[in-house]
Amino acid sequence: MTEEKTSELTKLHPKLIEFQNQIRDAYDQENKIAEKSQIVFAGSSLMEIFPIEKFQQEDNLKLPLKIYNRGVRATTTQDILDHINTIILDLLPSKLFINIGSNDLGFGISVEEMSANYKAIIKKVREKLPKIEIYLMAFYPINEHDDFTNDRADHGRFADKRSNASLINATAEVAKLAGIMNVNFINVNAGLYNQVGDLKPEFTFDGAHLTENAYKIVLENLMPYLEK
């Protein structure tokens, strides 16, 4: 990421960046006592708010491995590169699920730069963990038509430069890269769409971020990859 882009993000979201650092500091401490060779979920807020650890505990999911969620809100592919030890490598995972890049689009970062960062992430992970299974996830749809006025929509502005068309295009790039890099590409979005291709309004509180009920559908679609 260029210095101009970095300074722009710092100027726009200084308190958010401070909070991101607090989240990563907490992850650093948790990583010291976490089990190794398990499953890591990495990404932005769309991953951070996925209550997968809650689901695993409360629903007593019969999974062979434990899942650690290392999502950090409002982050980009470059952020994962910059903090790859905290987010991924320190946990020495045997499986990695990545959903990152929607903020790249929202911040005006090109699909080409996003793809290059994905490639760098995969290379760095494989250098340390050559036997890891990597899953690149399709981007979730957003809702472009309904009105959301919920006061929880503090990140709604991040969707200003996104559209379902741009997310579909970015997903195609991620799928292409997965083939080139010989990693898994998965689309676990079945059941999230309405008739016009939007994220169903009952599955989002701001048009871009998913509700817990939506994540239950995502989890159901993910289970074949988590169980094996």
Instruction: List the 184-186 sheet strands across, edge first.
Output: 67-69, 39-43, 95-99, 133-137, 184-186
pLDDT value, residue 122: 98
Domains, the chain, with CATH or none: 3-227 (3.40.50.1110)
pTM of the model: 0.90
Low-confidence ranges of the chain (pLDDT < 70): 1-13, 59, 149-161
Residue 97 and residue 42 in contact, taking contact as beta carbons nearer than 8 Å: yes
The beta strand positions in the chain, using DSSP E, are: 39-43, 67-69, 95-99, 133-137, 184-186
pLDDT value, residue 155: 41
Q: Report the distance separating Cα 5 and Cα 117, nearest Å.
A: 15
pLDDT value, residue 206: 87
